[in-house]
């Protein structure tokens, strides 16, 4: 379980708050006296309640499975954008929020067309907490200080390629590398958090500049017109205090080439032959502040920020995003519905006033 928690949050599981990070599990223990007792109680309650009708548009998978989108998670924001149309503004950077005398807020943005100001009765901020802290500081220093306490560790995704012959034979099943991926415990003596393998075949076209440049950089012999590569996408992360993935050398971090060397070194301990050629680097992406950590005291810090805004008279200003609801996609969606309900309740008072007038 420890490595699963690390896989979700890419942080130190010993510092996570069970109530904040895994609220549903915490509720099971609270309601049933133990996780098992709570599970049985939840099953009984679920069986006694009528099940909501299934959406006929959803596919019917066989057995238990993991669901996703056919063309990746990008389908969700694209669908939302398509539904909202020109209400979605890209490349707009919020710089300041000020209050209006008659209620509501004035929001000032930097846009490709210049500075733009908008008025709104309500504002939902779903930016990372450290960004919200900067914007909210002129309104509430207490809220800003609280939001700045939430920690986001650095994370890097390293995508590298090896020829199929580089894989250790004992790792193959029927000649193929199979499996969803791996989570690596620290006790294994590696720095890489997880590894997700996938394979693709490249049809060589010697007239293709892209392919010729790609293969020119590789050290493999290409005996046929079809070359099969193994692509390894490894997510490497550092312990919170080590800051290993920060690109700034003053932070004691690693460069992109050092990150690749680190992942390659780990893979040769587990999956790749030690005498394999150097990998072909397809991509290295570093997030200096990646996934918010729901550490012990997280909910108290969040309450401090929200109460400071509410008690400071900033009604209609709501905090949202993954540091509020949870980092999983499902929790983000559920959190969005929760905030939408709060906004609806808040704005309904103005609808009532207009009807009375």
Task: Report pTM.
Answer: 0.74
The whole-chain average pLDDT of the chain stands at 77
- As a whole number of angstroms, the distance between CA 133 and CA 136 comes to 5
pLDDT above 70 as % of the chain = 73
Rounded to 5 degrees, φ, ψ at 345 are: -65, -40
Residue of higher predicted confidence among 185 and 87? 87
DSSP one-letter code for 174: T
> Please, which residues have CB within 8 angstroms of residue 275's CB and are 6 or more apart in sequence?
none
Residue of higher predicted confidence among 304 and 53? 304
Residue 158 has pLDDT above 90, yes or no: no
Determine the pLDDT at residue 3: 57
Determine the pLDDT at residue 224: 31
Query: What does the pLDDT look like over 258-307, one tens digit per residue?
Result: 888 888 888 888 888 999 989 888 888 888 888 899 999 999 999 999 99
The DSSP line for 3-19 is: HHHHHHHSS-GGGB-HH
Domains present along the chain, CATH in parentheses: 2-48 (no CATH), 75-151+293-356 (3.50.50.60), 155-287 (no CATH)
- As a whole number of angstroms, the distance between CA 341 and CA 339 comes to 5
Strand 226-237, strand 155-163: pairing: antiparallel
Query: What does the pLDDT look like over 204-253, one tens digit per residue?
Result: 333 333 333 333 333 333 333 333 444 444 444 332 222 233 333 222 36
**CA–centroid distance for 102 within its chain:** 38
Q: Name the strands in the sheet holding 93-99, side by side, starting at the edge strand that comes first in the sequence.
A: 93-99, 105-111, 114-120
3-class DSSP state of 93: strand
Residue 18 has pLDDT above 60, yes or no: yes
Query: What does the pLDDT look like over 122-153, one tens digit per residue?
Result: 999 999 999 999 999 999 999 999 999 999 98
The DSSP line for 248-307 is: -GGGT---HHHHHHHHHHHHHHHTB-TTPPPPEEEEEEEESS-SPP-BTTHHHHHHHHHH
- As a whole number of angstroms, the distance between CA 176 and CA 79 comes to 36
């Amino acid at each position: 379980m420890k490595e699963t928690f690390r896989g979700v949050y890419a942080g130190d599981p010993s510092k996570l708050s069970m109530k904040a990070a895994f609220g549903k599990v915490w509720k099971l223990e609270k309601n049933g006296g133990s996780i098992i007792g709570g599970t049985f109680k939840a099953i009984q309650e679920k069986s006694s309640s009528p099940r909501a009708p299934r959406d006929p548009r959803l596919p019917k998978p066989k057995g238990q499975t993991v669901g996703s989108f056919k063309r990746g998670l990008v389908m969700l924001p694209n669908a939302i954008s398509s539904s909202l149309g020109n209400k979605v503004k890209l490349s707009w950077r919020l710089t300041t929020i000020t209050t209006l005398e008659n209620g509501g807020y004035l929001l000032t943005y930097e846009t490709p067309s210049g500075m733009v100001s908008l008025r709104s009765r309500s504002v939902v901020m779903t930016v990372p907490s450290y960004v919200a802290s900067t914007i909210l500081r002129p309104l509430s220093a207490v809220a800003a200080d609280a939001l700045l306490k939430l920690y986001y560790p650095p994370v890097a995704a390293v995508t590298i390629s090896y020829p199929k012959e580089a894989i250790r034979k004992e790792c193959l099943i029927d000649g193929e590398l199979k499996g969803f991926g791996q989570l690596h415990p620290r006790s294994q003596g590696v720095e890489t958090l997880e590894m997700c393998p996938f394979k693709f075949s490249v049809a060589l076209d010697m007239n293709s500049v892209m392919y010729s440049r790609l293969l020119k950089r590789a050290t493999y012999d290409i005996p046929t017109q079809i070359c099969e590569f193994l692509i390894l996408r490894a997510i490497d992360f550092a312990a919170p205090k080590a800051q290993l993935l920060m690109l700034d050398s003053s932070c004691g971090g690693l460069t992109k080439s050092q990150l690749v060397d680190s992942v390659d070194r780990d893979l040769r301990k587990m999956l790749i032959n030690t005498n394999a050629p150097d990998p072909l680097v397809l991509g290295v992406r570093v997030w200096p502040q990646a996934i918010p950590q729901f550490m012990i005291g997280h909910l108290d810090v969040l309450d401090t920020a929200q109460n400071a805004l509410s008690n400071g008279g900033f009604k209609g200003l709501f905090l949202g995003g993954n540091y509020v609801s949870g980092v999983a996609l499902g929790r983000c969606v559920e959190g969005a519905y929760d905030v939408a309900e709060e906004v609806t309740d808040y704005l309904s008072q103005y609808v009532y006033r207009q009807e009375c007038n």
